[in-house]
Amino acid sequence: MTNPLSRKALLVSATVALLAFGAFYSCTTGSGGKDNVLVGNAASKVYVAPGKYDEYYAFLSGGYNGQVMAYGLPSGRLLKFMAVFSQNPETGYGYNEETKAMLQTTYGFIPWDDTHHPELSQTDGVPDGRWLFINGNNTPRVARIDLKVFETTEILQIPNAAGGHASPFTTPNSKYTISATRFSVPIPNTDVPIESYKQNFKGTLSFITADQPGKMDIAFQILMPGFNYDLGHAGKGPSDGWFFFTTYNSEQAYQKLEQNASQNDKDFIVAVNYRQAEQCVASGKAKTTPADYFHNVMDEKSRVARSERKSSVKMLAPQDCPGLVYYLPTPKSPHGVDIDPSGEYIVAGGKLATVIPVHSFTKMQKAIADKQFDGDVQGIPVLRYSSTLAGEVQKPGLGPLHTEFDAKGNAYTSMFISSEIVKWKLGTWEVLDRMPVYYSVGHLMIPGGDSRKPWGKYLLSLNKITKDRYLPTGPELAQSAQLIDISGDKMKMLLDFPTIGEPHYAQAIPADLIKGNSQKFYKLSENTHPFATKAEADGSIRRQGKNVHINMIAIRSHFAPDNLEGVQVGDSVYFHVTNIEQDWDIVHGFGVLGAENAEIIIAPGETRTLRWIPKAAGIYPFYCTDFCSALHQEMQGYVRVSVPGSKVALKANISAKAATQLARAQALPKPVHEMDHKTDAPR
Ligand code: K7E
Ligand code: CUA
């Protein structure tokens, strides 16, 4: 089952092969006979009968769509699309007034990002199903998704950083999650010649407090030499208290990195003793440094997001905190760094390396104690390669990127260039099996495979290129995941399924650890939204200058009020719609003719607000966008829009009680609009 291409290509230098890898896709016909699939057997292993549940939840990042998708495994069925860093018109996320603040940054309202690495929260080094963290790669951010509601509830911007790629891998109890700069930049960022890279450009490693929902913050940052920091993983067991990051571009190139950052035989793994960092911070060794960043939180009760702007961080220089950071030389332009379940082995994926180097944590500690240094980089000791090396996997294939583990002492590494998964043995470093994948795998994922207790059983190969695997859909094809059975000695291909966006990485967890906690609706009695309407009689329309607020309920199968008059051209009309249902899966939507943003979807018990600015006089229908009942098509209403200064009075067809309240409210002084964020968000 060896991919013959990988064998041949090993003779070629890795760099040449990288340039030529496109030629590997010379497709054969169709997608039929290429897999070593016993079709019937494989089909029964992924078949989940109608009405039955999958065994695992899998969370796949969406790459450049900025979102995260939940799938079921082994079926590969898509369960939920979760908006994180990108606006999502499907639900109104980032368009409605309640969620716009989630996308606030010091660069303004950013409606997009690039997600790479979903990371489940952990207890004792084992995924626990409480939260999923995900990084924003472009405008460095880390988000928390609450797996009770499968929604983004918190986003922290990472200051003093550019490119939040090595993120958000967590420590064994999720005390910290991390974010390292992929790109080094001047810190603080300022206008300097690019040629002054070596003097002026720096990297940062950010440790983010993660175990308190709603309270993520930068615990401290470590100021590092101006390399590229690529990926990271926390130690566990004996290596608990340490964090490992890969670097590339130790050449400190600032142009044509393709060549200029591939000169050195070895780059580094950075080993950070974060307990030492905590001590140095506690003893005042960190400098309070200016930093400009946002922290955005979705309030659990009002379901309105709030932003806070922060202005400083604690910055540690390794030179001021001896014992904090060491460099482990590692061939060659390493990408992934993965720690085995025992916490002893530190596996690097050297994209251009011909071996998979594995460092030993025990040897690393001894090398530090014995000062087996090969000089230093800007005061950071470099450990001798031979002093930390546990072993090298010889001839693994081409382009090793990422490694995960099963519970039986085996490791599995993705080979981008030779397009295969390679299984090898920890300790003996021998290659045990290979499985070709279609095509060009990036990350691979085993449920719990980066944790202390892998559940094993399946491996998901997350492939970059699909070519001929599915029916053609024009120039751009979906990316692809392949599910592989790893329960036996030999890997077995079970299933292909297309994915949305580019799923760099994924995490999976037994469904039982999440499904019992899934929330069915929001309690209306606990809804503290300032514009909540909890009963039909409480609907209202109010004017505050050019702002018109409409409090409205939605219930099968009507809105109340549903006839509105007195709105004028150029008004900002806020439809505050509360879904007063208290029943699972009964959501309503709201769309209005000519709205320039999106619809809103309102979950049972919550309030969502659509802002709308009518441009011309006339009658505008609105309707429920989610087919909620037999009379869903009747769930509609009208807004009358008059010219500016018109004498048409404000009117909503509401109850007599509500009308009295309306008269009283209109006599009161104007309240401050509590949801006027200072954003220039697109409406
Ligand atoms: Cu290898 Cu961004 Cu983790 Cu993609 S990264 S593959
Ligand atoms: Cu409510 Cu359709």
3-state secondary structure 495-559: EEEEECCCCCCEEEEEHHHCHHHCCCCCCHHHCCCCCCCCCHHHCEEEEECCEEEEEEEEECCEE
Paired strand residues for 123: 126
Atom of ligand 2 minimally distant from the CA of 629: 2
Q: How far apart are CA 253 and CA 683, in angstroms?
A: 42
Q: How far apart are CA 353 and CA 393, in angstroms?
A: 11
- pLDDT tens digits, one per residue of 392-403: 999 999 999 999
Task: Read off the pLDDT of each residue in 168-174 and give the average, rounded to a whole number.
Answer: 98
Q: Which two tokens stand for residue 220?
A: 């401290």
Which pLDDT does position 665 carry in this prediction? Answer: 60
Atom of ligand 2 minimally distant from the CA of 628: 2
- pLDDT tens digits, one per residue of 625-646: 999 999 999 999 999 999 999 9
Residues 435-466 as b or e (16 or more Cβ within 10 Å = b):
bbbbbbbbbbbbbbbbbbebbbbbbbbbbbbb
* Residue closest by Cα to atom 6 of ligand 1: 442
Confidence of residue 668 (pLDDT cuts 50, 70, 90): low
Q: Token match 């603040």: residue?
A: 101
Paired strand residues for 560: 553
Q: How far apart are CA 369 and CA 338, in angstroms?
A: 24
- pLDDT tens digits, one per residue of 417-475: 999 999 999 999 999 999 999 999 999 999 999 999 999 999 999 999 999 999 999 99
Q: Is residue 266 within 8 Å of 392, Cβ to Cβ?
A: no
Q: How far apart are CA 95 and CA 360, in angstroms?
A: 49
pLDDT at 678 over 50: no
Q: Is residue 481 within 8 Å of 462, Cβ to Cβ?
A: yes
* Residue closest by Cα to atom 5 of ligand 1: 504
Atom of ligand 1 minimally distant from the CA of 504: 4
* Residue closest by Cα to atom 1 of ligand 2: 588
**CA–centroid distance, residue 444 to ligand 1 (Å):** 10
Confidence of residue 609 (pLDDT cuts 50, 70, 90): very high
pLDDT at 241 over 70: yes
**CA–centroid distance, residue 187 to ligand 1 (Å):** 25
Q: What's the order of all strands across the beta sheet hosting 228-234?
A: 228-234, 242-248, 267-273, 325-330, 380-383, 373-377
Q: How far is CA 114 from CA 66, 86, 659, in A?
A: 5, 9, 48
What percent of the chain clears pLDDT 70, i.e. is strictly above it? 90
**CA–centroid distance, residue 117 to ligand 1 (Å):** 8
Q: Can you say how many angstroms the Cα of residue 210 is from the centroid of all Cα atoms in its chain?
A: 14
What percent of the chain clears pLDDT 90, i.e. is strictly above it? 88
Confidence of residue 682 (pLDDT cuts 50, 70, 90): very low
- pLDDT tens digits, one per residue of 47-99: 999 999 999 999 999 999 999 999 999 999 999 999 999 999 999 999 999 99
Q: What is 400-418 written as a DSSP string?
A: EEEEEE-TTSEEEEEETTT
**CA–centroid distance, residue 503 to ligand 1 (Å):** 9
Confidence of residue 10 (pLDDT cuts 50, 70, 90): very low
**CA–centroid distance, residue 299 to ligand 2 (Å):** 26
Ligand 1 pocket mutation, candidates 116, 182, 416, criterion most atoms within 8 A of CB: 116
Which pLDDT does position 659 carry in this prediction? Answer: 64
Least confident of 252-256, 394-398, 490-494, 666-670: 666-670
pLDDT at 154 over 80: yes
Q: Is residue 294 within 8 Å of 107, Cβ to Cβ?
A: no
Paired strand residues for 636: 623
Contacts of 103 (CB under 8 A, 6+ apart): 85, 87, 94, 109, 110, 111, 155, 296, 681
Which pLDDT does position 175 carry in this prediction? Answer: 98
Which pLDDT does position 24 carry in this prediction? Answer: 43
**CA–centroid distance, residue 95 to ligand 2 (Å):** 20
Which amino acid is it at 194? I
Paired strand residues for 540: 551
Task: Read off the pLDDT of each residue in 582-607 and give the average, rounded to a whole number.
Answer: 98
Where is 666: in which H helix or E strand? helix 656-667
Q: How far apart are CA 27 and CA 7, in angstroms?
A: 18
Residues within 6 Å of ligand 2 by CB: 554, 588, 624, 626-628, 632, 635
**Number of Cβ atoms within 10 Å of the Cβ of 258:** 11
Confidence of residue 108 (pLDDT cuts 50, 70, 90): very high
SS3 at position 275: helix
> Which residue in 95, 61, 55 sits closest to 77, CA to CA?
55
Closest ligand to C-alpha of residue 464 is 1
Q: Is residue 239 within 8 Å of 359, Cβ to Cβ?
A: no
Task: Read off the pLDDT of each residue in 302-313 and give the average, rounded to a whole number.
Answer: 98
pLDDT at 357 over 80: yes
Task: Read off the pLDDT of each residue in 120-132 and give the average, rounded to a whole number.
Answer: 98
**CA–centroid distance, residue 202 to ligand 2 (Å):** 53
Q: Residue 182: CB within 6 Å of ligand 1?
A: no
Which pLDDT does position 15 carry in this prediction? Answer: 43
Q: Where are the beta strands (DSSP E) in 340-372?
A: 345-350, 355-360
Confidence of residue 672 (pLDDT cuts 50, 70, 90): very low
Confidence of residue 17 (pLDDT cuts 50, 70, 90): very low
| Mean predicted lDDT score pLDDT of the chain | 92
Q: Residue 168: CB within 6 Å of ligand 1?
A: no
**CA–centroid distance, residue 354 to ligand 1 (Å):** 19
Which pLDDT does position 352 carry in this prediction? Answer: 87
3-state secondary structure 132-179: EEEEECCCCEEEEEECCCCEEEEEEECCCCEEEEECCCECCCCCEEEE
Q: Is residue 141 within 8 Å of 115, Cβ to Cβ?
A: no
**CA–centroid distance, residue 442 to ligand 1 (Å):** 6
Confidence of residue 41 (pLDDT cuts 50, 70, 90): confident
Q: Residue 134: CB within 6 Å of ligand 1?
A: no
Q: What is 624-649 written as a DSSP string?
A: --S--STTGGG-EEEEEEE-TT--PP
Atom of ligand 1 minimally distant from the CA of 116: 2
Closest ligand to C-alpha of residue 626 is 2
Atom of ligand 1 minimally distant from the CA of 401: 1
**CA–centroid distance, residue 192 to ligand 1 (Å):** 30
User: Virtual CA dihedral for 40, 45, 49, 55, nearest 10 degrees?
Assistant: -170
Q: Residue 505: CB within 6 Å of ligand 1?
A: yes
Q: Can you say how many angstroms the Cα of residue 171 is from the centroid of all Cα atoms in its chain?
A: 17
Closest ligand to C-alpha of residue 590 is 2
**Number of Cβ atoms within 10 Å of the Cβ of 307:** 19
Confidence of residue 666 (pLDDT cuts 50, 70, 90): low
Paired strand residues for 220: 207
pLDDT at 297 over 60: yes
